[in-house]
A = this chain, B = another copy of it.
């Protein structure tokens, strides 16, 4: 907790779909202005939080010229902000519902936390991002004139390649640093950061990753071959996934919020991003404290011998 330069310009982002978030944003803006701080309330991102059809995020107006961005909403809202901002501005996540993994400050802790932050009493935790490059090799998709298209995305949680509900099982080829790992059939593949390891990856059977590790986990979704298991690899190399199957509806989804269609022969290439996300930590809560709380590890499942059904 070193001394820091004074915070002057504060960005406030709230989840637009939430009345409470918008109300809290207004109240917070006043609170900050009363303390002589310059505040910008960004509503653009808010609508992006309300993502039914996974449209493209509009460009975030709040840029790197801010000293701090306060996010009011949940982990989903913070993901949007982080992916778009992806920069050097530290983010303070405030959760208006239940605590999240990324937004661990509750509504009631907001002002006490801000007092600490404005006084410079906080630490930041740096989370890695992945750059997702889509190499489109052919004119397979409708309206696609072929050639190689270069599209770049960025994720804080995960990139997911997954077939549509009615498509038949798809075949993917996975390479790490140019070496073939497997060509396999599955519903899809999750490429997750440590931050994303507690999200979709966990539902699909992947392991929990300590948040500061320089790794990614590759977790197949409902693989055909039962021996195909999650693999943890360094994020310093290049992970490449190629769609081998023609004529099926397959998508690349980014942080579960944006998406694009994939065609046969398309290769998704994943590398560690130079950009990182800086999360402000005020509480003494550790990652493991969050895990225990969210996954209810105090809980026991049965009433068998030695189970919790026994009086002591």
Chain A residues proximal to chain B, CB less than 8 Å: 15, 18, 20-21, 51-54, 73-77, 79, 95-103, 157, 162-166, 168-169, 176, 179-188, 196, 198-200, 202-210, 212-213, 215, 217, 221-234, 247-251, 253, 255-257, 259, 286, 288-289, 291-292, 294-312
| 8 Å CB contact of A101 from B53, B164, B300, B302 | B302
Q: Report A239 CB to chain B, min CB distance, Å.
A: 11
Q: Which residue of B lies closest to A286 (CB)?
A: B179
Query: Could you say which of B101, B297, B304 contacts A76, with CB atoms under 8 Å apart?
Result: B304
B54 near A166 (CB under 8 angstroms)?
A: yes
Copies in the complex: 4
Top-3 shortest CB links A-B? A100-B303, A100-B309, A74-B310
Closest residue of chain B to A250, judged by CB?
B165
Residues of B within 8 A of A227 (CB): 225-227, 295-297, 299, 301
Whether B207 lies near A230 (C-beta < 8 A) is: yes
Please name 9 further chain A to chain B contacts, defined as beta carbons within 8 Å, in addition to the given A76-B310, A98-B309, A100-B302, sorted by A numbering: A51-B168, A73-B310, A74-B311, A165-B250, A166-B251, A182-B297, A185-B300, A200-B222, A215-B232
The residues of B that contact A21 with a CB separation of less than 8 Å are: 311
Chosen A-B contacts, 6 in total, with CB atoms closer than 8 Å, are: A102-B309, A199-B303, A208-B231, A215-B215, A226-B301, A228-B297
Distance between Cα atoms of A20 and B75 in the complex (Å):
46
Residue among B102, B210, B229 making CB contact with A231, cutoff 8 Å = B210
Interface centre among A53, A77, A184, A225 (most CB of B within 10 A): A225
A95's closest neighbor in chain B, by CB?
Answer: B309
Instruction: Verify B259–A165 contact, CB threshold 8 A.
Output: yes
- How far is B223's CA from A108's CA once the two chains are assembled, in angstroms? 31
Contact of A251 among B98, B162, B165, B188 (CB under 8 A): B165
A229 to B301, CA, bound (A): 12
Known contacts being A179-B286, A215-B215, A247-B52, is A168 close to B100, with CB within 8 Å? no
Q: How far is it, in angstroms, between the C-alpha of A128 and the C-alpha of B54 when the chains are bound? A: 40
Whether A311 contacts B215 by the Cβ 8 Å rule is: no
> Within the assembled complex, what's the spacing in Å between the Cα atoms of A165 and B162?
6
B296 pairs with A97, CB closer than 8 A:
no
**Closest CB in chain B relative to A81 CB, distance in Å:** 13
Chain B: minimal CB distance from A173 (Å): 11
Q: Determine which of B75, B99, B309 lies in contact with A99 in the assembled complex, contact meaning CB atoms within 8 Å.
A: B309
One of B96, B203, B292, B310 near A77 (C-beta < 8 A): B310
Q: Report the Cα distance A51→B310, complex, angstroms.
A: 13
Residues of B within 8 A of A289 (CB): 179-180
Assess whether B296 is in contact with A74, with CB atoms less than 8 Å apart: no
CB nearest neighbor in B for A220: B203
The distance in angstroms between the C-alpha atoms of A83 and B45, with both chains bound, is: 49
Q: Are A76 and B305 interface neighbours, CB within 8 A?
A: yes
Known: A165-B250, A166-B54. A76 touches B294 (CB 8 A): no
